Amino acid sequence: MEEKGLCNRESVTHEIKCTGCKNTYVGETTRSMYTRENEHSKSLSNKEERLALWKHCREKQNSEIQQFQTNVTGVSSNNVILRQISEGIKINNVDEDSLINSKSEKAWTISMSLTCT
């Protein structure tokens, strides 16, 4: 059986970088990265206010939609807790000035870190 490409793998952590300024969004999904990236692209095209990528474009890029590059940073089993911990560690490793994730995601990560230590 042939190995799936990383974009087709499910249960992954990923980062999305703004090609204009190199700021980074860190995420995780149970779905494939291909599916999740399509959801992000559609939401960005629709300028959905709930989407961190659109907020980044609006607040940091003069409301101009930017190009983003997506990379799978980890593949996990279907264990949601391990995937979310991995996401939290990755969020904590990004400089706060370069992080696209919302403050509530950052706060959740810090609370997870404190709970787990």
What was the pLDDT predicted at 78? 82
Q: Where are the alpha helices (DSSP H) in 14-102?
A: 33-45, 52-60, 80-92
63, part of any domain: yes
86, part of any domain: yes
Two tokens, residue 15: 């980062």
What was the pLDDT predicted at 114? 52
Instruction: Choose the weakest-confidence range: 17-26, 41-50, 77-86, 108-117.
Output: 108-117
The range of the structural domain enclosing residue 31 comes to 10-116
5, part of any domain: no
3, part of any domain: no
32, part of any domain: yes
Average model confidence (pLDDT) for the chain? Answer: 87
Q: What are phi and psi of 23, to 5 degrees?
A: -65, 155
User: pTM here?
Assistant: 0.83
Query: What total of structural domains would you count in the chain?
Result: 1
Rounded CA-CA distance 38/85 in Å is 24
Q: What is the mean pLDDT of residues 90-94?
A: 92
Task: List the CATH number of the domain containing 74.
Answer: 3.40.1440.10
Q: What is the mean pLDDT of residues 31-37?
A: 94
